[in-house]
Amino acid sequence: MHDDRTLVEARLKRVLDERIRPAVYPESVPLEVAVWNAPGEPVPVAEGLAATPEPIAVGARWGAPWATCWFRVTGTVPDAWAGRTVEAILDLGFDENMPGFQCEGLVYRPDGTPVKGLNPRNQWVRIGAPVEGGEEVRLHIEAASNPVILDYHPFQPTQLGDKETAGSEPQYTLARMDLAVLDETVWQLVMDLEVLGELMAELPVESARRYDILRAVERALDAVDLQDVNGTAAAARERLTDVLSAPAVPSAHRISAVGHAHIDSAWLWPLRETVRKVARTTSNMTALLEDEPDFVFAMSQAQQWAWVKEHRPEVWARVKKAVADGRFVPAGGMWVESDTNMPGSEAMARQFVHGKRFFLDEFGIENDEAWLPDTFGFAAGLPQIIKAAGSKWLLTQKISWSQTNKFPHHTFQWEGIDGTRIFTHFPPVDTYNCSMKGSEIAHAARNFKDKGVARHSLAPTGWGDGGGGTTREMVAKAARLRDLEGSAQVVWETPEEFFKKAEAEYPDPPVWVGELYLELHRATLTSQARTKQGNRRSEHLLREAELWAATAAVRAGFPYPYEELDRIWKTVLLHQFHDILPGSSIAWVHREARRTYERVAEELNGIIGAAQRALAGEGSGTLVFNSAPHTHDGVPAGGARTPVVEGEVAIASRAAGGFILENGLLRVEVDARGLVVSAYDLVAGRETVAPGRAANLLQIHPDFPNMWDAWDVDEFYRNTVTDLVDADEVAPGDGTSVRIVRTFGDSRVTQVLSLAAGERRLGIDTEVDWHETEKFLKLAFPLDIHAERYASETQFGHFYRPTHTNTSWEAAKFEACNHRFVHIEEPGWGVSLVNDSTYGHDVTRTVRDSDSGTTTTVRVSLLRAPRFPDPETDQGVHRFRHALVPGAAIGDAVREGYRINLPERQVTGSGEVAPLVGVDHDAVVVTAVKLADDGSGDVVVRFHESRGGRVRATLTAGFEIAAAAATDLLERPLADAADPERDGDRITLTLRPFELVTLRLKRA
């Protein structure tokens, strides 16, 4: 037989595009359209429905950026259509290639009942099936003219990302607004041909199955009369019956399709728009569930569920019913799909506490899975947190975006820093927006790394990022792929059903130890510095507020602010979403975040101040309150008293220019350039700064990644560097410090280097008035240390990374995350660099020419200046605090990291405040002291081993204990845990390395 394969395939494409798809709606009549432009921000539904609209014609421009327009469409179903299926086709001017990134709408009936959402891949509204003819149609559309930020030529700077700069030019052209007859037979033929055509394209050219499909398609096309598609569609479908009914081979890969709409809680749209995106999507999905009995939809992010409950009660009622039916599934058990690299220990725990508690309270459902498809890598401390929250599975997807190395597993056990393992799945479909294309299904089967020992994978199915969800076309394709020769088998299942099957078939999967590092989006550790500072400071203020409010409640009857703390925690957790905290959202999002963090700080400082005043009592003495988990200057952790400070600081001129600071523990030399050329540990008799090098060195690089400007820094940025060594001023400060001023480009840096009495720590306060574009600012510390690895803090512990680049996996980690400290050491002596608000850093090794000695350079990432999606990223004044700690062991790094983030507070009062709880071993770090969330008055204490070793420690309560129990993060007693060893108000525990413990103490 002659090979006419390409001829038939080309024929299929043209006939589908030009004849069959247009015949889906063979008859139509126009609707009358009127519009009302809401002034300012979105209005309540009742107001939009009651407004008086003005006529508008198809082809007219509408919608200023970020505006809301209320369209009213009216018409009458022709009598001649009686007995047929009729739909309204409502095209607001969509580009089909941009679902989630364009204008969108929510359709209402005149009584305010929501019908469904409109988006570029979902433009229809069912009027009747069948209709009687003569029905009056009246629908209202709440249309959002969200501008296109990420266009076909992506990453172009735009002012559209903030309503204050976006202008008022209409964004869209009103397109089709019709009533139309839906020919369901033709629509089904389209689905048949799409599934077979897409499957055929994925089969080997030499396979018999490919040619079976090819000939069946050819016969079907022969049966189509191109001048009467509607009259001949049924005959064409009959010719496809055999190839569509051929079953899959027994070894076929099996895909659990989960209906899904990944909705970024903010990204290229503000938070207020996400509230509406969620309402549109949930309206669509509840409607689709009613029409499709096999379909299952899962939605994560308790915050988004809470938005529906608060803002769209009529949609919430439909959601609750679908949840009760078991087909609309709460997923993930987190407040939002957060970043997991930067949130602190308690914040990461509270993501699960608040997320799981919401689903338990609302539906009595507890999630066993964490659901984080789009998060930019996963910190090594996360497995323990997932387990401590009562969950056992993790789903992620984003690791497939890694630039350098392909991850070796799709189903595996992920082991965290303490040894906890979590069963993890990484869908081989390589997208969290699967649309049931044949190419996606075939890719999942081919790509699956665990063939031969496992055969199940998961496919999150539906339009996402900006929402939209699953479409009826996806459901129709999945039905055909349920058992189809040549394809993987597809079935709709819940995440729980998938994980149970996957775990049962693969009881001993491979193990991945340590962080799941994404080899991409590394610059999200630095972009939008103010957002990151707001997060860090909010986390520590929340710690203080809970600690002092709990202490004052027990000691002084202070009213514990349960509701306020709950609300503030949820606000902070929301802003840890993986496009807010990482700095990859539009300007509007970060402008609002700054104001939110200011309000959070004001409210938390008010709670802290009131609680501390209640504890301090009357009197004129000065008390220092220590919120950190270690005693300092004689002030116990979690207590208050008058501190004891010993020693003094001297400052002298340096012979070669500059100044010398000394306090008996450290001698620091600052040269005439304002650089630290020596930081000598007088106790150990050892130099910190690498020979011939200078620390506190600001360096600036060009920063223009190949794509994803706010997200990425590409390794070639290092090829060009400028050392900022010229100083405008180097002068003594207040007698214990040196002040340095530099200018470069359009920017100015002011630094204060200081020593404190009795402290082996060089303080570095940096103020940058930043006005650069596409530049990367680093602060470098070359250290005279030979080290093949270094430690960086992560949740409830620290994690080691290599300093070398032996393999491509190591070389890819050229920018990494730390929390409060980075620590480098040789046996017996180390150095820590601590910070109050930065996360990104790099560590490199150098061998000296003079003596082959190895040195290690730590560089802190301070600022960037990408232009997309916020063209004014980080412009303005920023303040950072760092400290260099020579002679530091890992325990010193932990202590100093907390101290720089939790400075003491002075309060006037009458006497000492004893800690509410105390621990007798510095390796055990208390991360939370609070009252139980249930209002019982029980005291909850969370702590962990912080140094990576085993320890036996005693916790002493400063109140009488009636009972003590180990609990999970949700403060529920652990079923398999014995009561802790208790002697009165003293509890003794043995902790393994990095072990996390939560104790609930019932007050007598």
Active site residues: 374
What token pair was written down for 895?
């202590």
3-class DSSP state for residue 524?
helix
3-class DSSP state for residue 77?
coil
* Burial zone of 818 (CB within 10 Å; 0-12 exposed, 13-18 middle, 19+ buried): buried
CA 501 – CA 278 distance, rounded (Å): 30
CA 668 – CA 677 distance, rounded (Å): 8
CB 277 within 8 A of CB 269: yes
Rounded to the nearest 5 degrees, what angle is found at the Cα of 998, between the Cα atoms of 993 and 1003?
140
Residues sharing a CB contact under 8 Å with residue 769, sequence separation 6 or more, in sequence order: 747, 748, 749, 876, 877
CA 618 – CA 630 distance, rounded (Å): 27
Q: Looking at the chain, how many residues does it have?
A: 1004
Residue type, 30: P
CA-CA-CA-CA torsion for 282, 283, 286, 287, nearest 10 degrees? -150
CA 401 – CA 325 distance, rounded (Å): 36
CA 820 – CA 899 distance, rounded (Å): 10
CA 307 – CA 299 distance, rounded (Å): 13
State the pairing for strand pair 939-945/924-931: antiparallel
Rounded to the nearest 5 degrees, what angle is found at the Cα of 629, between the Cα atoms of 343 and 567?
45
CA 521 – CA 713 distance, rounded (Å): 7
CB atoms within 10 A of CB 455: 20
What token pair was written down for 712?
């990425």
In the 8-state DSSP scheme, what is residue 636?
P
Residue type, 460: P
3-class DSSP state for residue 130?
coil
CA 216 – CA 211 distance, rounded (Å): 8
Location of structure tokens 């609309």: 328
CA 710 – CA 704 distance, rounded (Å): 10
355 backbone dihedrals φ, ψ, rounded to 5°: -65, -50
Rounded to the nearest 5 degrees, what angle is found at the Cα of 585, between the Cα atoms of 580 and 588?
100
CB atoms within 10 A of CB 990: 11
Q: Taking the mean position of all CA atoms in its chain, how far away is CA 981?
A: 39
Location of structure tokens 């081919």: 446
CB 476 within 8 A of CB 435: no
Q: Taking the mean position of all CA atoms in its chain, how far away is CA 458?
A: 21
Of 891, 890, 881, 760, nearest to 823 by C-alpha is 890
Of 88, 94, 118, nearest to 106 by C-alpha is 118
